[in-house]
């Protein structure tokens, strides 16, 4: 994880300078301030927007993608665990070195958020049950693996 303020969790909005949708950049990465939905979200999990409308100001996210709720576009990777309706940051653009992949994938191929029976991992882009293209794998793996480097790109 990083130690530059993006791992802070807020129970309410505390600053007029930071509101859902705020974008910040640091160390070649891009982050977005979001609000978690009704379930607990685990740090380092990929998350999606609850709706397909982040461009209209709806920055509510969820990492609970295995429960069959309506899911929107890939938002990013959570920088800290969030309780229901808490605020925090997702990394939405840049290199993330500790991704979990649920199957083999070749370097240079795309990955998507895994919407299978568990939360917290990416799947090869050719897999069934896909949400949205989330990134490009920079190092291939021959089986499910953790700690994989992925260049992620969320909305």
Report pLDDT digits (tens) over 31-75. 999 999 888 999 999 988 887 655 566 788 988 887 655 567 889
Indicate the pLDDT class of residue 90, thresholds 50, 70 and 90.
very high
- pLDDT value of position 130: 52
Tell which wins on pLDDT, 62 or 126: 62
**Predicted TM-score (pTM) of this structure:** 0.86
From residue 99, how far is each of 12, 32, 46, 133 by CA, in Å?
A: 29, 18, 9, 14
Checking if the pLDDT of 20 tops 60, the result is: yes
Phi, psi of 118 (to 5 degrees): -130, 160
Residues making up the chain, counted from first to last: 155
Tell me the average pLDDT across 112-117: 76
Please state, in angstroms and as integers, the Cα–Cα distance from residue 136 to each residue in 75, 89, 125, 126, 151, following that order.
15, 21, 9, 13, 5
Instruction: Give the pLDDT of residue 29.
Output: 94
pLDDT-derived band at 12 (thresholds 50, 70, 90) equals confident
Q: Output the average pLDDT for the chain.
A: 83
Q: Which of 69-73, 98-102, 113-117 has the lowest mean pLDDT?
A: 69-73
For residues 69-92, average pLDDT? 87
96 contacts 147 by C-beta, under 8 angstroms: no
């Amino acid at each position: 994880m990083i130690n530059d303020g993006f791992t802070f969790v807020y129970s309410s909005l505390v600053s007029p300078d930071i509101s859902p949708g705020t974008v910040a950049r640091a160390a070649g990465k891009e982050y977005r301030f979001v609000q978690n939905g009704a379930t607990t979200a685990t740090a380092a999990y990929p998350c999606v927007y609850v709706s397909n409308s982040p461009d209209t100001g709806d920055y509510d996210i969820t990492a609970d993608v295995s429960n069959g709720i309506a899911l929107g576009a890939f938002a990013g990777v959570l920088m800290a665990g969030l309780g229901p309706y808490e605020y925090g940051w997702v990394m939405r653009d840049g290199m993330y070195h500790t991704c979990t992949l649920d199957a083999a994938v070749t370097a240079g191929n795309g990955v998507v958020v895994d919407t299978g029976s568990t939360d917290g991992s990416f799947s090869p882009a050719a897999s069934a049950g896909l949400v949205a293209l989330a990134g490009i794998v920079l190092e291939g793996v021959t089986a499910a693996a953790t700690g994989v480097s992925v260049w992620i790109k969320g909305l």
